[in-house]
Amino acid sequence: MDEVVLVTGAAGKIGRFLRPRLARPGRFLRLLDVAEIPPAAPGEAVETLRADVTDPAAMRAACAGAAAVVHLGGIPHEAGWADVLRVNIDGTRTVLEAARLASVPRVVLASSNHAVGFHPIADAPVPDYLFPRPDTYYGVSKAAGEALGSLYHDRHGMHVLCARIGTCEEEPPDRRGLATWLSPGDCARLFEALLTAPDPGFRVVWGASANTRGVFDLTEARALGYRPEDDAERHAAALAAAPPERERPYVGGPFTD
Ligand SMILES: NC(=O)c1ccc[n+]([C@@H]2O[C@H](COP(=O)([O-])OP(=O)(O)OC[C@H]3O[C@@H](n4cnc5c(N)ncnc54)[C@H](O)[C@@H]3O)[C@@H](O)[C@H]2O)c1
């Protein structure tokens, strides 16, 4: 029987990057979002579900029989506290609890550089397992997600892997992106490593490509099998022509303004 991987937030940017790239013989992707997701193409081993990550019953049903959950669904930027609390923090707890009740052994959480956004960037490479220093309520929600992941690992033995993603876009959007970019291909390589590393326990890794100007330490990600192939440097010339950006001394860049 095919291994089922549930992907929340599958209609979003990273979800769309991962959909074709996580396809494997013997794997079936269960794609979930509150927004509409394009249905399975002929021969594509996917199903789509319209559900909210804050709905315990829906998430319990979505987790049934899954070998792993990739949790991307939520608000990916700063927002009001009530929304951040409901969707990102309570939603992540709901996903982890649903996974526990359905005996899903592994959950991969989309964390963010903004969980540690107020750390100075001068001391690059910015190490793995940096203590939370959020730059926004959004960053607080990502630190809370990591803490929840740690709890579900220690208390329930679930494997939980948190990726502190830098800037995951088709191309680096600005000069900061030359340091923080995670290409779509490397994003899939990272998530594949997090889905397949044997007996990982609880881990927090940086999510970035092998950028010449990279600031994030990829040691822990590499230890789990991640082998980045892209480098933002090939976009440097194009970005040199872009308007100058204000230099920010912190990991979180403009989120720290
Ligand atoms: N793209 C990046 O550079 C980046 C960087 C750091 C972290 N992340 C994290 O990665 C994840 C995916 O980011 P993205 O860039 O694809 O964002 P996105 O906004 O494109 O995708 C998020 C998806 O989550 C869905 N969603 C929102 N609320 C939901 C709910 N209550 N229930 C179910 N689905 C819900 C949205 O409909 C959307 O399709 C997010 O958790 C984000 O915080 C992204």
Query: In the numeric block, which tokens belong to residue 196?
Result: 């397949």
74 CB near ligand 1 (under 6 Å): yes
The residue whose CB lies within 8 Å of the most ligand 1 atoms, and thus the one to mutate among 8, 50, 168, is 168
Does 190 contact ligand 1 (Cβ within 6 A)? no
Closest alpha carbon to 64 in 19, 93, 30, 41: 30
Whether pLDDT at 123 is above 80: no
The mean predicted confidence, pLDDT, of the chain is 97
Check: CB of residue 137 under 8 Å from CB of residue 83: no
Please compute the mean of the pLDDT values over residues 10-38 and round it to a whole number. 98
Length of the chain, in residues: 257
pLDDT value of residue 124: 86
Looking at residue 122, its pLDDT comes to 87
State the CB neighbour count (10 A cutoff) for residue 246: 8
* pLDDT of 44 above 90: yes
Q: Is the pLDDT of residue 108 over 80?
A: yes
Q: What percent of the chain has pLDDT over 90?
A: 95
Task: Kindly indicate the confidence band of residue 161, based on its pLDDT and cuts at 50, 70 and 90.
Answer: very high
Answer whether 37 contacts ligand 1 (Cβ < 6 A): no
Cβ of 112 closer than 6 Å to ligand 1, yes or no, is: yes
Distances (CA, A) of 46 to 15, 30, 49, 138, 191: 13, 6, 10, 30, 17
pLDDT computed for residue 191 by the predictor: 99
Q: How far is the CA of 246 from the centre of ligand 1 (A)?
A: 26
Instruction: For ligand 1, pick from 7, 19, 33 the residue to mutate: most ligand atoms within 8 Å of CB.
Output: 33
**Global model pTM greater than 0.85:** yes
180-239 pLDDT, tens digit per residue, is 999 999 999 999 999 999 999 999 999 999 999 999 999 999 999 999 999 999 999 999
Residues near 43 by beta carbon (within 8 Å), at least 6 away in sequence: none
Query: pLDDT tens-digit profile of 130-152?
Result: 999 999 999 999 999 999 999 99
Give the closest residue (by CA) to ligand 1 atom 29.
Answer: 74
Q: How far apart are CA 115 and CA 113, in angstroms?
A: 5
Q: What is the pLDDT of residue 241?
A: 85
Amino acid in position 49: L
Query: Which pLDDT value is given to residue 246?
Result: 87
Q: Is the CB of 9 under 6 A from ligand 1?
A: yes
Supply the pLDDT for residue 141. Answer: 99
Q: Which domains are assigned to the chain? A: 3-256 (3.40.50.720)
Closest C-alpha residue for ligand 1 atom 11: 72
Give, for ligand 1, the residue of 8, 14, 169 to mutate: max count of ligand atoms closer than 8 Å to Cβ.
Answer: 14
32 with 6: CB under 8 angstroms? yes
